[in-house]
A and B are shown apart, each in its own frame.
Chain A
Amino acid sequence: GAGVSQSPSNKVTEKGKDVELRCDPISGHTALYWYRQSLGQGLEFLIYFQGNSAPDKSGLPSDRFSAERTGGSVSTLTIQRTQQEDSAVYLCASSPGRAVSAFFGQGTRLTVV
């Protein structure tokens, strides 16, 4: 594809349910990032994948959050037992290597009711 694609674009879920958010990065990009954007909070780093290296999970807010990247391409962010404070826009970005020049997807807006 031409850019980073995220799905779904919007997701409404009930508190306590699990959700999966998908990211299709730009083909050939070795680096993939997940960020969370809350109202008035800027972007919060969640997790970073680089090639075959172990991911940097230092930004995941709790053990309810996990992410994987299969075959060095598609990534899935999973939130278990969702809480209302998980409501935010989840952004994925990919890069050929540098964080600064990463291309962002349009995000998935998650609403937990």
Chain B
Amino acid sequence: QQQVKQSPQSLIVQKGGISIINCAYENTAFDYFPWYQQFPGKGPALLIAIRPDVSEKKEGRFTISFNKSAKQFSLHIMDSQPGDSATYFCAATVNDYKLSFGAGTTVTVRA
């Protein structure tokens, strides 16, 4: 049973476009929501993370939007570049213990 539901499964975006990945959760005890980026043949790497008392966090071209009442959060990749082509995972944790991951979204940025 997946505690974090992620969509879409894959997306294709043109260079310079915006990639949007959505996640939803049910467990209100979750208190930290990270996103990971994974390139083929590599392990996931932490990209950006947010706590539920913040509605938005931006780091460079990556922005997390968080809607606590809807129990949803999303990753926006602005000005998408071919180097952003990867699989992105949302995740959630309670007290920074073990992570519950979404199923992943494969992003392809076309030049």
Task: From known contacts A48-B98, A98-B96, infer whether A42 and B46 are also in contact, taking CB-CB under 8 Å.
Answer: no
Interface size class for chain B?
Answer: 20 to 34
User: How far apart are the CA atoms of A90 and B41 in the complex, in Å?
Assistant: 12
| Docked-complex contact B34 and A100, CB < 8 angstroms | yes
Looking across the interface, which residue of chain A has its beta carbon closest to that of B6?
A42
A107 within 8 Å of B (CB atoms): yes
Binds A, one of B14-22, B59-67, B74-82, B100-108: B100-108
A62 within 8 Å of B (CB atoms): no
| Nearest-Cβ distance from residue B38 to partner chain A, whole angstroms | 8
B34-64 to A contact mask, C-beta < 8 Å, 1/0 = 1000000111111001000000000000000
Chain B residues with a Cβ under 8 A of chain A: 2, 4, 6, 9, 32, 34, 41-46, 49, 89, 91, 93, 96-104
Partner of B43, one of A4, A59, A100: A4
| Nearest-Cβ distance from residue B43 to partner chain A, whole angstroms | 3
A56 within 8 Å of B (CB atoms): yes
> Chain B contacts of A98 at CB under 8 A?
96
| Docked-complex contact B43 and A91, CB < 8 angstroms | yes
Q: What would be 27 A-B contacts, judged by CB atoms less than 8 Å apart?
A: A4-B43, A33-B98, A40-B9, A41-B103, A42-B89, A42-B102, A42-B104, A43-B101, A48-B97, A56-B98, A91-B43, A91-B44, A98-B96, A99-B96, A99-B97, A99-B98, A100-B34, A100-B49, A100-B96, A100-B99, A101-B46, A103-B43, A104-B42, A104-B44, A104-B45, A105-B43, A106-B43
